[in-house]
Structure 1
Amino acid sequence: MKKKLLALFTIVALILGFQGFTALAKNNQSQKESSQPIAVQGAMDMEISALLKKMGEYKEETHGSYTFYRGKINGIPVIVSRTEVGMVHAAASTTLLIEKYHPKAIINQGTAGGHDPKLHVFDTVIGTEVMNIGRFITDHRDDGEGMKPESWKFDGTGMRENGELKTYETFKSDPKLVKAALSVADKYKHGKVVKGKVGSADVWNREVDRIQWFHEKAGTSVEEMEAASVGQVSKSYDVPYLSIRTVSNSEVSGDKIEDLETAGKYGAEFSVEIVKAIGKK
């Protein structure tokens, strides 16, 4: 009888111990997640200054050519990253960001040129997906036959996953982050907030026919020079990612203004509201 009771007590103790260990592990994981920063990127000073102002106090750190600012917004740990302009800068900066700061989410935001004629300066696009619109395959044409850009075909981005090569036409923003951004859309007072597709390349397009071609063939809402690189690196590290772009100029909407500084400020201020929404969850 005593042996049976001892065995029963042992089993109960093991069960309670396992439950306690599980609860402790969950608590440790929760604490780790709460201490992980939300990363917000901007390529230029004008795209991050409003974020730094909101943080107030922050620590500036530089790795290579890239600058990072550690602080808090409304008590939420935040790392602001100035990526610099361009696809290579964005990829390198994002890799450093993930390796050194381990963010739980990355918001890539800033200014963009409009592709959709319905979008006007200061409207903001929540990029549900991003695409490298600078990757093409062309048909063979002999010497003297000239160029035929309208025949160019978009080429996907190859990535190695578990030893297997996969091709991505686009990189999608995390649905939960998209939902968080949409939940605070009413706080943006400077134009429309819409879902759309962001195109990236190391080119600033001003030819109307070319812009219309991108919009028709690729379905792009706006263009800029970083988002697809950030989406690709985030995908490779399995870090949730969100693209936000505020229109600073458009060749196809009839707008006669171009204002990168104001668009950068408005986009960064809206990103603050998104950080708050993500932090609450």
Structure 2
Amino acid sequence: MKNKIVKKFAPLAAIAVLLILSLTLRNSTLLNETKVEGAGRPILIQGPMPIEAEKFAQKLEKVKIEKSGTFIFYKGKVNNYPVIVVKTGKGMENTAAATAVAIEKYNPIAIINQGTSGGHDPDLNVHDIVLGKKTTNIGSLKTGNIEENHGMDPTIWKPMDLMASEGSGSDPNAEKIRYYEGDQGLLEAANAVKDKYTNGRVVEGIIGSADVWNNEVDRIKWFHTNYGTSVEEMEGAAAAQIAEAYDVAFLGIRILSNNKTNGGKYDPNTAAANQDYVYEVVKKYIATIQSK
């Protein structure tokens, strides 16, 4: 009787062994593929418009395109390390959403928000690049208390730190400028390759962001004086805020496409030049990661 039972279940035991071996081999294969393709959390590169994202995406190896909402993600590799380029769309809301989606989906090790910008510093010229030692929201403001028919005065507006507290807008602690610090490792990588950029200078500075396109030179000077801004754009501070919330390394890299404070005319070719430089930064950062 015992021999009959053994013979009855022997085929099932054999199948179980084969299944275990198959799963083991499959897991081993996946591990080997991961090693070959390059393990590690990806680096996320953000660009608002097609001219600010697509040239970098063309540099990626083994590209796969994914979409989430209106956001387009180009998943690929640089020097066998995972890099994702996301076309966020313009503006603070688009960028904040795209950043949160990317962090939740891909768990990046670092985020670089890059693209064009308008100059605030008269010492900077078109094609110069600003590394965001700090990034700040220049659109979060509280107006003065002026009654009806007494006009308005933007020069007395105060900064409003939306992250200062959960209380009302009357909280005096909220009347300050919040700066998001650029990640030191990313800054070091960017400074290490700045000599490879020959179209202009590469300097550290403060990037200002808002859903406003400032063309009033006196207004631009007001921000430069009161916030210390080097350039303005419409995305960086939103990405920096979300990156800080998730504790992800962040750096803004912005090239001057124009500068009204010194007559610098708009040049759309700056977008491509900035992506070429950011590509060098990414390669340097990858080398730093892999050396650890």
SS in 2 for 1:111: strand
Residue 170 of structure 1, CA deviation: 1.1
Residues 1:213 and 2:218 aligned together: no
Q: Which amino acid aligns with 1:103?
A: P
Choose which of 221, 236, 249 in structure 2 pairs with 1:227.
236
Letter in 1 for 2:221: Q
> What percent identity do the matched residue pairs reach?
44
- Which of residues 155, 159, 170 in structure 1 aligns to 2:160? 155
* TM-score, normalised with respect to structure 2: 0.80
Please tell me whether the aligned partners of residues 47 and 111 of structure 1 are also in contact (alpha carbons under 8 angstroms): yes
Structure 1 partner of 2:144: 139
Q: Tell me the equivalent position of 2:267.
A: 259
Q: How far apart are the structure 1 equivalents of 2:207 and 2:225?
A: 13
* Partner of residue 51 from structure 2, selected from 22, 26, 46: 46
C-alpha contact (below 8 Å) 1:108/1:230 kept by paired residues: yes
**Paired AA for residue 258 in structure 1:** Y
| Aligned residue number for residue 277 of structure 2 | 270
Query: Greater CA deviation, 225-234 or 134-143?
Result: 134-143
- Whether 1:185 and 2:185 are equivalent positions in the alignment is no
1:76 touches 1:276 (CA, 8 Å); kept in 2?
A: no
**Cα deviations across residues 223-272 of structure 1 (Å, max 9, x unaligned)?**
000000000000000000011000001101232x2113x11101111110
Specify the SS of the correspondent of 2:112: strand
Tell me which residue corresponds to 1:86.
91
- State the SS of the aligned residue for 1:158: coil
Q: Distance in 2 between matches of 1:50 and 1:269?
A: 8
Contact 1:87 1:226 in 2 (8 A): yes
Match of 1:172 in 2: 181
**1:8 equivalent in structure 2:** none
Of 33, 36, 40 in structure 2, the residue corresponding to residue 35 of structure 1 is: 40
Q: Distance in 2 between matches of 1:56 and 1:240?
A: 23
Aligned to 1:201: 210
SS in structure 2 of the partner of residue 238 of structure 1: coil
Give the root-mean-square deviation of aligned CA atoms. Answer: 1.9
1:49 and 1:265 in contact (8 A); partners too: no
Offset, 1:52 = 1.6
Which residue among 130, 134, 154 is the counterpart of 2:135? 130
Q: Which protein is bigger by CA-based radius of gyration? A: 2
Unpaired runs of 5+ residues, structure 1, are 1-30
Measured after TM superposition, the shift of residue 97 of structure 1 is 0.5
CA contact 1:40–1:109 (8 Å) conserved in 2 = yes
Question: Does structure 2 conserve the Cα–Cα contact (< 8 Å) formed by 1:125 and 1:194?
Answer: yes
Rounded to whole Å, the distance in 2 between the matches of 1:241 and 1:84 is 18
Partners in 1 of 2:195 and 2:50 — Cα distance? 26
* Corresponding residue number in structure 2 for 1:250: 259
Corresponding letter in the other structure for 1:278: Y
Which residue of 73, 77, 80 maps to 2:78? 73
Q: Give the match for residue 17 of structure 1.
A: none
In 2, are the aligned partners of 1:174 and 1:242 still within 8 Å (CA)?
yes
